Structure 1
Amino acid sequence: MGGAADLLPCLSMILVQVGYAGMSIISKLALDSGMNPYVMVAYRQIFATIVIIPFVYLLEWKTMPRITKRILFQIFLSSILGATLNQCLYLVGLQYSTPTIACALNNLLPAVTFVMALPFRMETVGIKRRSGQAKVVGTILCVGGAMLMSFYKGNLIKIGESSINWRYAENMTQRNSSNAENTFLGPLLVVGSCIAWSGWFIIQTKMSKGFAAPYSSSALMCFMASIQCTIIGAFAEPNIKEWFLTSNIRLVAAVYSGAVGSALAFCLMSWCIQKRGPLYVSMFSPLMLVIVAVASWALLDEKVYEGTAVGSGLIVVGLYAVLWGKEKEMEQITRADEMSSEEVMENEDKCDMELPVYSKCTLHNAS
């Protein structure tokens, strides 16, 4: 039983990364079919809200804390940063880049979060310690890798052609050539989505202290974001016919991104964070890059260039450097807390041992 219980979080996180990889590829196909990215984001929030509501009713309805005006405002900010801005920037960036580049740049998240958390004193550098040096070096590597992917394309890496190229995907890409890859704009927008997502992490950290109901807050966040994204989508795509999910790929992309990319992924990640902690969950992020790179080459005939390969490698190395530094920092904090607890207990034991002696002395002097 113990072995199966230890294996379950690992399998859950692998499933999450496979789900995210599938979402990147399917979303790219839907965008290549001509679907407006803002319309896709709106549908994603709508379907995510519908899927999360049953979890709220089953798991948190009776224990949910009271929603104050402060909590409601924090959820509103979370919806703007974590859902609307993050996903709009990501999908538009994906529209002008490739699934591999978008997934690689998503690994910037821990480094960007570390930098943004410094002014709020949620993180410390500790440059004199190895953990602090690892976080700084890792952040530099991540930023360097992102800049390399944005400004340098390089030569084509010849890795052969796939024998299982998806004819449907090839026809879809050829039919809509307007979504041509933009070496600078696409990666820049994906980096912007990481910055927005990092802002969401900071708000969530503050909000979770006063509202420990992740499913309820996520349902409210997705509901607010669905309204925001629908309004933005109405301005970006006023033609009502473009909102119809008559195309199979558009319907699949909308339902899949909401149900799997938002609702299911959040539930599994929340469970894994409770079991193993956030660092364990973060360590699986590069797995999505590998899955997407292989699938994009095999199914979409995506070309891999030197800038993408080297930049992705730098980002993955930087990611693990930041995570290693954070893990060592947490171990140091835990050891310091344990030592403090032991000192308190020793002082209490000393007082207990000295109390009878003091009492005897008092009685002797009194007699």
Structure 2
Amino acid sequence: MVVIQLANGVTNILIKISLDKGFSQLVFVVYRHLIAMLLLGPFAYVLERNQRPSLSFSIITKIFVLSSLGTTIHLNVYYAGLAYTSPTVACALSNVSPCLTFLIALLLRMEKLKIASMRSKAKVLGTVICVCGSLVFTIWKGHLLKGFVEKPLIDIKAGSVGEFKHTKQNWIKGVALILISYIALSGWLILQAVVLKVYPARLSLNTMICFFASLQSSILALFFERTPTSWKLQWDVNLLTTVYCGVVIAAFVYYLQLWCISNKGPVFVAMFSPLLLIFVAIFSAIAFAERLHLGSLMGAFVIIVGLYLVLWGKRADSNQIRKHQCDDSKVPEISTKDVPMLNPVREEA
């Protein structure tokens, strides 16, 4: 999950640069999932041909809805909101995802909560601490710290459109769009755990998610991006962003996320979202020469403490489940010597 958040942090920086340069978000979503589908398809066909379950209408419907939530809705709405805000603000808003995922999992009884147990208290307290740390990171500034670099490695020159997007009205619009995207993301994480139970072939599932994502986004792009120049890629940062997100995010990170959900559950995956805020702030400080504040360090420390509490609670849950399974597997052996009726009686001659 740390690797996933590192990869997502690089993605946020690249996408912000591409969007500021006028790259179409709809076309970008189509291309990145087409690349992932073409990359994963042969591996899924060869490696999972003997363990891939048969597809039913119910499974296809669930995968279609899964693609709609996690890719078509989440990504397109998120990129639309990112165009009006900064990557740091967008990542700060991502911290609603752990709370939403935890609440949905409780309602669906995918997570068990016993207030009397220490592990449940640790999970709830850790979730609250992560959110509080994110708020401290975003709101409280404090003293400016010395920057990593004196001059930005990447210089983005925004034109009139960029100046218009930073008005207060459009900043509120961007925040609202990003919040909607993270609601869809929470539903996506929960639904992945549901689909994995009936279709455990992760490579094939990821391939079909990318297929439906590219299909759905293509339909949207045909309506909103009719100019042929929007679909043209050149040797620039837009091509780099598309290839990186197709290979690293849609193919590699999606698969890692499915693996983590199948082993640890959706809440475990969602709890690592606050790390994205820390990584993006560090990347922005290096790439754009943004100076961090004292509040950023304090917020990062609080986020790590909250994350540790949640992970401790999840580990305690896993240990408890394994303990119950071991206790159930231990069946007491009954000796026939202890049961007189089972002992043969020797008749004396």
Deviations 1:249-293 (A, max 9, x none): 11111121111111022344556778x856987786555443321
Partner residue of 1:299?
287
Partner residue of 2:150?
163
- Give the letter for the 2:306 counterpart: G
Q: Give 1:311 deviation, angstroms.
A: 5.8
Is 1:83 equivalent to 2:71 in the alignment?
yes
Q: Is the 8 A contact 1:39 1:243 kept in 2?
A: yes
| Corresponding residue to 1:360 among 335, 343, 349 | 343
| Corresponding residue to 1:318 among 303, 306, 310 | 306
Q: Is the 8 A contact 1:104 1:312 kept in 2?
A: no
CA distance in 2, matches of 1:287, 1:352: 60
CA distance in 2, matches of 1:197, 1:281: 11
CA distance in 1, matches of 2:313, 2:6: 27
| Corresponding residue to 2:191 among 203, 225, 235 | 203
Say if 1:173 and 1:300 are closer, same or farther in 2 by CA, change over 3 A. Answer: farther
Per the normalisation by structure 2, the TM-score is 0.83
Q: Give 1:88 deviation, angstroms.
A: 1.8
- Written as runs of structure 1 = structure 2, the 5 A alignment for 1:1-367 is 15-144=3-132, 153=139, 155=141, 157-161=143-147, 162-166=149-153, 168-171=154-157, 176-180=162-166, 184-246=172-234, 248-269=236-257, 288-302=276-290, 304=292, 314-342=302-330, 345-346=331-332, 349-350=333-334, 354=338, 357-360=340-343, 363=345
Bigger mean CA offset, 224-233 vs 314-323: 314-323
- Give the letter for the 2:205 counterpart: S
CA distance in 2, matches of 1:290, 1:148: 12
- Give the letter for the 1:139 counterpart: T
Per the normalisation by structure 1, the TM-score is 0.79
**Secondary structure of the equivalent of 2:290?**
coil
Q: Give 1:124 deviation, angstroms.
A: 1.9
**Secondary structure of the equivalent of 2:156?**
helix
Q: Is the 8 A contact 2:8 2:276 kept in 1?
A: yes
Bigger mean CA offset, 212-221 vs 16-25: 16-25
Q: Is the 8 A contact 2:19 2:83 kept in 1?
A: yes
**Secondary structure of the equivalent of 1:52?**
helix
Say if 1:138 and 1:281 are closer, same or farther in 2 by CA, change over 3 A. Answer: closer
Q: Is the 8 A contact 2:123 2:311 kept in 1?
A: yes
Q: Give 1:76 deviation, angstroms.
A: 0.8
Bigger mean CA offset, 323-332 vs 114-123: 323-332
Bigger mean CA offset, 46-55 vs 101-110: 101-110
Q: Is the 8 A contact 2:114 2:120 kept in 1?
A: yes
Q: Is the 8 A contact 2:146 2:291 kept in 1?
A: no
Q: Is the 8 A contact 1:111 1:322 kept in 2?
A: no
- Give the letter for the 1:169 counterpart: D
Q: Give 1:126 deviation, angstroms.
A: 0.8
Q: Give 1:337 deviation, angstroms.
A: 2.3
Bigger mean CA offset, 75-84 vs 229-238: 229-238
**Secondary structure of the equivalent of 1:57?**
helix
Bigger mean CA offset, 39-48 vs 102-111: 102-111
Q: CA RMSD in A?
A: 3.5
Percent identity over the alignment? 33
